[in-house]
Amino acid sequence: MSMRLLEVSDVKKQYGSGCSACIERTGDDAGTNHCPVCDTVIACANINLTVDAGEVLGIVGESGSGKSSLAELIALEKDDEGEVAGDISYTEYDGNLLAVDYQTRHELKNTHLSLVHQHIRDGLELEFSGGGNVAEKLLSAGWRRYDDVRERVRSLFDATEIPVDRMDDPTHTYSGGMQRRVQIARALANKPDIIILDEPTAGLDVSVQARVLDMFRRIQQQNDVAAIVVSHDLSVIRLLADRTAVMRHGRIIESGLTDRIMEDPHHEYTQTLINSVI
Amino acid sequence: MSEINAETDAEVKEGDQDDNVTTQSRDYADQHARDQPKDEMTEPKRSAVETIDSLLGEFDDDDSLSGYNYAYLDEHTKREVRRSIIKAISIPGHQVPYASRPMPLARGWGTGGIQASLSLLGPDDTFKVIDQGSDESVNAANIRRLASNTADVETTTDTTNADIIQTRHRIPEEVLTDEQILVLQVPVTDPLRKVDGSDAANRRRHAHRNYGKMWVHLYENVVEWGEINIAARYPTMVAGRYLMDPSPIPRWDVPKLDHADSLFIFAAGREARIYAVPPHTSVEPLAFEDRTFQVERFPGVSCHACGSTDTYLTEVETDDGSVYYSCNDASFCHKRQQNPELDRDHHIKQSIDGWGPGVSDPDSGDTAGDTE
């Protein structure tokens, strides 16, 4: 058995004051994530999952199912709204990831856990060059030799199949596919243990989607980096994920090996989801 | 006192004003009434043709300053500025807010520097003001005159004689000692504003020493120019903790801040911030290990007046299109004209290491580009 990297136990996130009836009146059985008693939105609750080294975990679900909220919690994205409970443990850190201070969070995000944002603007500084966006990760981690930074950025551009002669152009001049690749190059820069991809194909046309996913799959295997892939698109999950969790109304309703979920879905919603795609 | 108050109240009502005059404005009116004779207030007409000279002639020198506190600012203001300065010294490079009073000239013209200088000056001090190296610019001369009128201080143009030097955009060529304070006027306080316009986000970055974005700026600079090409306001790390904007001094002056004997105070009037570099504090310009910090180079030229090759030179273009170079520090240039052999540390007993380029510092032989 491979090494356990990340363990998420009983994590909950809610927007609103909450009441004693929240958990009972929301979720899959209740058919909503919105508590009718106190108006609280339960973005996700009762979340338990694990990620091993080098493994790819898929999280699939419809819009509003809480998958992005969960991904942001794991990726240590700070959100001043909402209340969070539960525990996320990570091998390289002694304590609950949900309770880290800013400095530690900054360090962990820089070198251990990388998020590829769903929205380009959240992840990239479009006025900086593509190379500058990737270099920022290295420079923040303390790289102080210019030639070394250049060399590393160049090799990351190569690996993510971005034309190296474009690396000094402003990022806003890049195509959507190139911007997505720059985000992935940036996420890989400091050799993290785990990458969280939030909707990696959002806004890309089908042929570009396929090339970005192929590239990511190759890099993920070469570097043996673990990943959590969040998507509403089952074909993305099928291509990348070893294991899959299906979310609906803020709960994980089914999880297991991706092949098993695809071939033998147990939950009624999962069956509908798969039938509607294939 | 109560009598005058009653009079003032009566006047306010006579003037057909609203009864709800605030206490503050009454106090002000009260003060006003005391400052000026009553008949002059009610009868402002003047018979003779008014010229500025005739108006000024009505005041003799003593009158013009009556009513002003010593050193122009009131004592509470000076105390507040001094407290901010002490806090700034305690946290080197950190921007400390202060009230920044309105001054008799527009913000952005050195109001921060004036407030810091006037708060520090005492009657025994000697004051020097320079503006881009010159003692004789209008702004410098006026600031000097304000201090000598209101604070009763001696003024000088000789760097070595001054206790407090207020300056805009330069650090003097002559080495400052542990008995001197340099007050720098600052237009922009935050070095990070170059890379992000949000002061709130930048304050968070300072709090967490998160300077990644500034490093990307330097990286992109090298990509574009092959070296770091920042002319002034060079980002510097103070005591390994805070990134600081050293005000628009040329790169030439930045090394003078490092481990100096003197105290440097940076004051911004418009932005209402004070920060400081205490004596013997490390000040390190941000640079890459393989793309190092460079000062300005003046290959093969010297000052047309004194012949110096180890000072910061400015290019002067004449009407016929020819170009010559001149020392930027006018006071030291003048001394050099009397004595071309004068060292920049001539007034200090032991020889000084590292007061910028050109002063005998064995370690910085390669960056003293003046001899290239």
Domain of residue B123, CATH code: 3.40.50.11310
- Asked whether residue B259 falls in the same domain as residue B321, the answer is no
Which residue in chain A is spatially nearest to B206 when comparing CA positions? Answer: A103
Interface membership of B213 toward A (CB under 8 Å): yes
pLDDT in tens, B179-218: 999 999 999 999 999 999 999 999 999 998 999 999 999 9
Residues of A in contact with B213 (CB under 8 A): 125, 136
B42 with B165, same domain: the answer is: no
Give a yes or no: residue B9 inside a domain.
yes
Q: Is B275 helix (H, G, I), strand (E, B) or coil?
A: strand
Cβ-Cβ contacts under 8 Å between A and B: the total is: 49
Is B157:B135 a contact under the CB 8 Å cutoff?
A: yes
Contacts of B222 in chain A (CB under 8 A): 146
**Which pairs from A210-213 meet CB under 8 Å and 24+ separation?**
A211/A161, A211/A177, A212/A177, A212/A180, A212/A181, A212/A184, A213/A239, A213/A240
Residues B151 and B257 in one domain: yes
Of A106, A132, A149, the CB nearest to B210: A106
Which residues of chain A are within 8 Å of residue B289 when distances are taken between CB atoms? 144-146
Burial class of residue B60 in the structure, from the number of CB atoms within 10 Å of its CB (0-12 exposed, 13-18 middle, 19+ buried): exposed
Cβ contact A140–B222 (<8 Å):
no
Helices (H), chain A: 22-25, 67-74, 102-111, 120-123, 130-140, 146-159, 176-188, 206-223, 234-240, 258-263, 268-277
Catalytic residues of B: 93, 303, 306, 327, 333
The residue among B216, B291, B293 with the most chain A CBs within 10 A of its CB, best to mutate, is B216
Instruction: Specify whether B102 is located in the same domain as B167.
Output: yes
Pick out chain B residues at pLDDT < 50.
Answer: 1-34, 36-41, 43, 360-372
B367 and B264 assigned to the same domain:
no
- Split chain A (278 residues) into runs of 10 and give each run's mean pLDDT: 87 92 89 91 94 95 90 88 92 91 88 91 91 95 96 95 95 94 94 94 88 93 94 92 95 95 93 80
Distance (Å) from the C-alpha of residue A95 to the closest C-alpha of chain B?
A: 21
Same-domain check for residues B35 and B161: no
Same domain, B45 and B181: no
Of A106, A135, A168, the CB nearest to B216: A135
Query: Which uninterrupted H or E stretch holds B10?
Result: helix B2-14
Asked if B220's CB is within 8 angstroms of A136's CB, the reply is no
A135 vs B210, B219, B289: nearest CB:
B219
Burial class for B39, CB neighbours closer than 10 Å (0-12, 13-18, 19+): exposed
What token pair was written down for B136?
A: 């004789």
Please tell me the CATH code under which domain A4-112+192-277 is placed: 3.40.50.300
Chain-chain contact of A145 with B289 (C-beta, under 8 angstroms): yes
**What residue spans define the domains of chain A?**
4-112+192-277, 120-191
What ipTM does this complex have? Answer: 0.89
In a shared domain, residues B57 and B182:
no
The answer to the question of residue B263 being in a domain is yes
What is the dihedral angle through the alpha carbons of A152, A156, A159, A162, rounded to the nearest 10 degrees? -130
B147 and B6 housed in the same domain = no
Record the tokens describing residue B347, joined without a space: 């007034």
Q: Are residues B54 and B102 in the same domain?
A: no
Q: Could you tell me the residue range of the domain that residue B326 belongs to? A: 313-371
Same domain, B238 and B146: yes
* Residue B137 covered by a domain: yes
Q: Report whether B88 contacts B120 (CB < 8 A).
A: no
Q: Identify all chain A residues contacting B208, using CB atoms and an 8 Å cutoff.
A: 102-103, 106
Q: Note the pLDDT of residue B58.
A: 63
In the prediction, which pLDDT does A78 show?
Answer: 77
Residue B28 placed within a domain: yes
Distance, CA of B29 to CA of B241 (rounded, Å): 50
Whole-model pTM: value is 0.82
Residues B61 and B89 in one domain: no
CA distance B107 to B235: 24
Within a domain: B249: yes
A78 touches chain B (CB under 8 A): no
